[in-house]
């Protein structure tokens, strides 16, 4: 079965091998050496002043960012399940919350954010997804960050890059906190989250907030190549292997370029066979199709062509399907996925099969 959900994503064989050794003790020079190397790679990936690894799923890093960087009112951007989550985290932690809500195919505009900031001087942090995985859309995070900082440089910008870090180059000039998670673009099993932090964020963190997710405690330990609590040793060993593999494969810029072409190829191939791309501003992490047969298409892809793609949640349940484009994906696997979608449409009687999806895909991906 080909796993083509936008998280979890498949773990490469060499990464699985690297994680199959005996469990290492985390308070040892051996593990600290691995931790140090991994940190060095992460600094290059994030381009931030500090990086922190947490033993948690991505939501843990979202909570860590909110409690440590928002002390008054959080403005969150809700164009989907993950954006909504930021607001819930703020309220659960006794913070005030303002939300900008849009349909799941609609990115927030810079103007909406600026208006909200101008209308509420209590807002001291803004949380937004770079790629909102619920509908596969890209928010204009860099533009928002720039515009907000021009009004008030003390407002913290928390960018959830769980389906963006490792997918595309992110301009972190005005971003204070950038979040990644292991099981999406980083091709690992779930359970590890990473935060990239700017110096302004570190300043605001001060002594930190919370206990397990106190970022001041973590920063202090991680600068010494250890962690405050037990490290997710196996996942960090896997992360080092992933980051070394990307480097050996030609580097992160090559992966960004490859992902971009792949995203264009998949999207164009599916549009060429009459399918409709759901988000108004598609992210490179995934292609999201809205379709009345979405449920059937997914089932047939899985049962007849061994392709596992994701559906939609909440009001989009049964109305969309999402195809992953993150990670070191084999071209022949991706080609099979678009081909399978075309065969499913043919089986559903929607369109006579003529290989058009694969043709468009190959033309774009290989320049044939
Ligand atoms: C998956 C995801 C999360 C949540 O991560 P968990 O690992 O499920 O806690 C948050 N934000 C985005 C954009 C995601 O895709």
In a shared domain, residues 17 and 158: yes
pTM of the complete model: 0.98
Please state the rounded mean pLDDT for residues 25-29: 97
* 7 lies in some domain: no
Please state the rounded mean pLDDT for residues 57-81: 98
pLDDT at 11: 97
Residue where a domain stops, chosen among 248, 277, 302? 248
Question: Cα of 245 to ligand 1 centre, how many Å?
Answer: 23
In a shared domain, residues 97 and 230: yes
Domain containing 318 — which CATH number? 3.90.1150.10
* 1 lies in some domain: no
Question: What's the token pair of residue 284?
Answer: 């490179």
Question: Cα of 208 to ligand 1 centre, how many Å?
Answer: 23
* 259 lies in some domain: yes
Q: Could you tell me if the CB of 82 is within 6 A of ligand 1? A: yes
99: phi then psi, degrees, rounded to nearest 5: -125, 140
CA distance 75 to 101: 11
Q: Could you tell me if the CB of 133 is within 6 A of ligand 1? A: yes
CA distance 25 to 172: 34
Residue where a domain stops, chosen among 248, 268, 290? 248
* Crossing angle (nearest 10°) for helices 141-151 and 110-119: 30
In a shared domain, residues 241 and 255: no
Which strands sit side by side in the sheet containing 276-277, from one edge to the other?
276-277, 286-290, 320-324
Q: Could you tell me if the CB of 7 is within 6 A of ligand 1? A: yes
Q: Could you tell me if the CB of 163 is within 6 A of ligand 1? A: yes
In a shared domain, residues 217 and 280: no
In a shared domain, residues 239 and 310: no
3-state helix, strand, coil in the chain (%, to 5): 45, 15, 40
Q: Could you tell me if the CB of 58 is within 6 A of ligand 1? A: yes
Question: What's the token pair of residue 216?
Answer: 């001041």
Domain containing 217 — which CATH number? 3.40.640.10
Question: Cα of 199 to ligand 1 centre, how many Å?
Answer: 25
Question: Cα of 87 to ligand 1 centre, how many Å?
Answer: 14
In a shared domain, residues 79 and 178: yes
Question: What's the token pair of residue 124?
Answer: 């001291």
What ligand 1 atom has the least distance to the C-alpha of 6? 15
In a shared domain, residues 138 and 275: no
Residue 46: domain span: 13-248
Q: Closest residue (by CA) to atom 5 of ligand 1?
A: 58
Q: Could you tell me if the CB of 129 is within 6 A of ligand 1? A: yes
In a shared domain, residues 163 and 270: no
Residue where a domain stops, chosen among 229, 248, 267? 248
CA angle 179, 282, 295 (to 5 degrees): 100
CB 345 within 8 A of CB 356: no
Q: Could you tell me if the CB of 162 is within 6 A of ligand 1? A: yes
What ligand 1 atom has the least distance to the C-alpha of 60? 9
* 4 lies in some domain: no
Please state the rounded mean pLDDT for residues 330-347: 98
Q: Where are the alpha helices (DSSP H) in 169-322?
A: 199-205, 215-222, 233-248, 252-272, 294-305
In a shared domain, residues 166 and 258: no
In a shared domain, residues 57 and 176: yes
In a shared domain, residues 294 and 165: no
Alpha carbon distances (Å) from 90 to 6, 36, 262, 355: 26, 32, 36, 49
Instruction: For residue range 247-266, list pLDDT tens digits in order.
Output: 999 999 999 999 999 999 99
Please state the rounded mean pLDDT for residues 136-156: 98
* 2 lies in some domain: no
What is the total count of domains within the chain?
2
**What share of the chain has pLDDT > 90, as a percent?**
100
pLDDT at 276: 98
* Locus of tokens 């499913």: 344
* 32 lies in some domain: yes
pLDDT at 44: 98
* 8 lies in some domain: no
Mean pLDDT, the chain, as a whole number?
98
pLDDT at 16: 98
Question: Cα of 88 to ligand 1 centre, how many Å?
Answer: 14
Question: Cα of 138 to ligand 1 centre, how many Å?
Answer: 15
In a shared domain, residues 221 and 257: no
Residue 320: band (very low, low, confident or very high) from pLDDT cuts 50, 70, 90: very high
* Locus of tokens 């022949």: 332
Q: Would you put residue 188 in left (φ > 0), alpha (ψ -120 to 50) or beta?
A: beta
Strand-strand pairing, 73-78 and 123-129: parallel
Neighbour tally for 11: CB within 10 Å: 21
Neighbour tally for 140: CB within 10 Å: 17
Instruction: For residue range 229-246, list pLDDT tens digits in order.
Output: 999 999 999 999 999 999
* 147 lies in some domain: yes
Question: What's the token pair of residue 67?
Answer: 């409690």
CA distance 123 to 152: 10
Please state the rounded mean pLDDT for residues 124-140: 98
Instruction: For residue range 278-289, list pLDDT tens digits in order.
Output: 999 999 999 999
Q: Closest residue (by CA) to atom 15 of ligand 1?
A: 133
Run of H or E including 90: helix 81-92
Reference 282, options 264, 308, 307, 295; nearest CA is 264
């Amino acid at each position: 079965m080909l796993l083509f959900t936008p998280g979890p994503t498949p773990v490469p064989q060499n990464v699985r091998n690297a994680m199959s050794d005996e469990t290492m003790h985390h308070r040892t020079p051996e593990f600290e050496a691995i931790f140090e190397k991994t940190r060095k790679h992460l600094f290059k990936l994030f381009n931030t002043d500090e990086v922190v690894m947490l033993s948690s799923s991505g939501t843990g890093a979202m909570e860590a960012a909110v409690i440590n960087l928002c002390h008054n009112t959080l403005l969150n951007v809700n164009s989907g399940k993950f954006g909504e989550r930021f607001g819930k985290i703020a309220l659960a932690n006794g913070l005030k919350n303002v939300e900008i809500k849009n349909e799941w195919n609609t990115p927030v505009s810079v103007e909406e954010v600026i208006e909200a900031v101008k209308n509420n001087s209590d807002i001291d942090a803004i949380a937004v997804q770079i790629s909102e995985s619920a509908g596969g859309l890209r928010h204009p995070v860099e533009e928002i960050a720039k515009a907000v900082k021009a009004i008030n440089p003390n407002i913290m910008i928390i960018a959830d890059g769980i389906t963006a870090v490792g997918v595309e180059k992110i301009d972190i000039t005005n971003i204070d906190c950038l979040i990644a998670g292991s099981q999406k673009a980083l091709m690992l099993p779930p359970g590890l989250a990473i935060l990239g932090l700017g110096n302004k964020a570190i300043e605001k963190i001060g002594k930190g907030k919370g206990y397990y997710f106190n970022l001041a405690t973590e920063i202090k330990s991680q600068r010494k190549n250890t962690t405050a609590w037990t490290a997710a040793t196996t996942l960090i060993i896997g992360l080092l292997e992933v980051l070394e593999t990307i480097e050996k494969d030609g580097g992160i810029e090559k992966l960004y370029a490859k992902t971009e072409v792949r995203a264009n190829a998949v999207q164009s191939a599916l549009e060429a066979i009459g399918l409709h791309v759901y988000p108004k501003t598609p992210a490179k992490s995934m292609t999201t199709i809205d379709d009345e047969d979405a449920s059937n298409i997914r089932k047939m892809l899985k049962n007849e062509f061994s392709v596992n793609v994701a559906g939609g949640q909440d009001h989009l349940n049964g109305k969309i399907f999402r195809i992953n484009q993150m990670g070191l994906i084999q071209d022949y696997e991706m080609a099979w996925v678009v081909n399978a979608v075309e065969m499913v449409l043919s089986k559903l009687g929607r369109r006579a099969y003529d290989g058009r999806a694969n043709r468009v895909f190959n033309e774009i991906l290989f320049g044939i």
